[in-house]
Amino acid sequence: MEQRRPAAPSSAELDREWQQHRKYGIIIDAGSSGSRVQVYSWKDHKYVQDTHLLRDIKGKLPTVERGDRLGLKWTTKIEPGISSLANQPEGVDEHLKPLLDFAMEVVPEDQHSETPIFLMATAGM
């Protein structure tokens, strides 16, 4: 009797498994010529502590990874930069909206409220 191999996990299943116990952080670089967003992720330190031997993780920093499981969807850029809004600062929210929309597509919905967003710009901005 021929034995069947179990089906390989789908991409969606691999994504769900990879996302378990993961934390995210969003950085917006509001530059003068363009603004970009970068999404990073790492395994939750409490989960790592609870599931690994202390000797295996002692003195090690968490591995920070690019946005999604494959590291492909993690950054995007818009132009012009935030400096183009010098005379209309009320437009900053609309300027940043596509960056935040992109980041929210990368970060799982159940992590939105726990994900910090850092907006960084030089003093001239």
The pLDDT tens digits of the residues spanning 11-59 come to 778 777 777 889 999 999 998 889 999 999 998 888 777 777 667 777 7
Which residues have CB under 8 Å from 87's CB, separation 6+?
A: none
The CATH superfamily holding the domain 20-120 is ATPase, nucleotide binding domain (3.30.420.40)
For tokens 């530059």, the residue is 31
0.85 exceeded by the pTM? no
The pLDDT tens digits of the residues spanning 79-120 come to 998 888 888 889 899 999 999 999 999 999 999 999 999 999
Extents of the domains making up the chain? 20-120
CA distance 120 to 27: 7
pLDDT for the residue numbered 14: 77
pLDDT for the residue numbered 83: 85
16, 22 in Cβ contact below 8 A? no
CA distance 72 to 8: 22
The pLDDT tens digits of the residues spanning 111-125 come to 999 999 999 987 666
